[in-house]
Chain A
Amino acid sequence: MRITCPLCGARDHREFTYKGAALPVPALDSGVAEWDAHVHLRENPAGPHEELWQHAMGCGAWLKVRRNTVSHEILAVELAQDAGLVIKEDRS
């Protein structure tokens, strides 16, 4: 597999670390059900899957990658920060 990092270009999959499904982070005061779903439960599809990878041995950026779990084909890559995958701080 090769992943095209938006910052560094196409790189071998050895440079990246897989984290898991790319799920929106619940609000910090969410209940047990939301956190259980976020930390443990997985749709686990056979086919296109949105997941988090870090370009650990490159620029260090977190990426949201859309990848087919059956063929391992990489379908789309974007920076996780652009995908809204950040913890929403309570500014009240």
Chain B
Amino acid sequence: MNPVIEVQGLWTQFGDHVVHKDLNLTVMPGEVVSLVGGSGSGKTTLMRQILGLEQPTRGTVRVFGIPLQGSSAQLLHKIRKRWGVLFQEGALYSALSVFDNIALPLRELRAFDDEFIRDMVMLKLDMVDIERRHAAKMPADLSGGMIKRIALARALVLEPELVFLDEPTAGLDPDRSESFVRLIQSLHATLNLTVVMVTHDLDTLVSLSDKIAVLAEQRLIVYGTLREAISVRHPFILNFFLGERGLRALSAVGASAKLDGRH
């Protein structure tokens, strides 16, 4: 199996400020990878580089085996149709209604008739648990949580193989974020999605991730399963996972039993 994402020897520098120093990351098909790290550690920058929105100072990024640097526009367009992105603030087009936001990528393909598009949009709204009567509303009239779920519907409407989620559950109430996690889980199971997400929400992190990538000191200090991650002694990890909040989240999934010996 070929990796979906392959980041090799990535350096990022803003002026004198080095954000990533020789960073490597490989994501295999079907994996759910969570990117964690302190504020300002370069998570968003890394994600934007994988999306081709920013150029790394040095190093290569390959998605679906295709290098982002130096590939033809046509090839890059093919990649872009195979991934879906949920931006942190949703990034719904404010001039379009909810319906048109979700319909836009479908219409752009020019392959489907209006009836198909309408049914598809309604199904996606059902999927993310948004009532259909909201379809005609404008993004400005929606709450943050609704915007996020509609943005997810838009990201998923073209059946992507790879999904990026930036803080998917931040700003959702606990109930919603739990149903969000279940939604991602079921999509992952049915479509064999590959998911890369940035999150600070331990519950989401613990219940979704196959692998955790911890970004600190300009590189990935750990890249492995939850158990591998928490066995590393590093101030950030101790703080993040083994603080009071972290232990609570871990105990919820029965992971804390393994930790008791260490405290």
Asked if A and B are interacting partners, one says: no
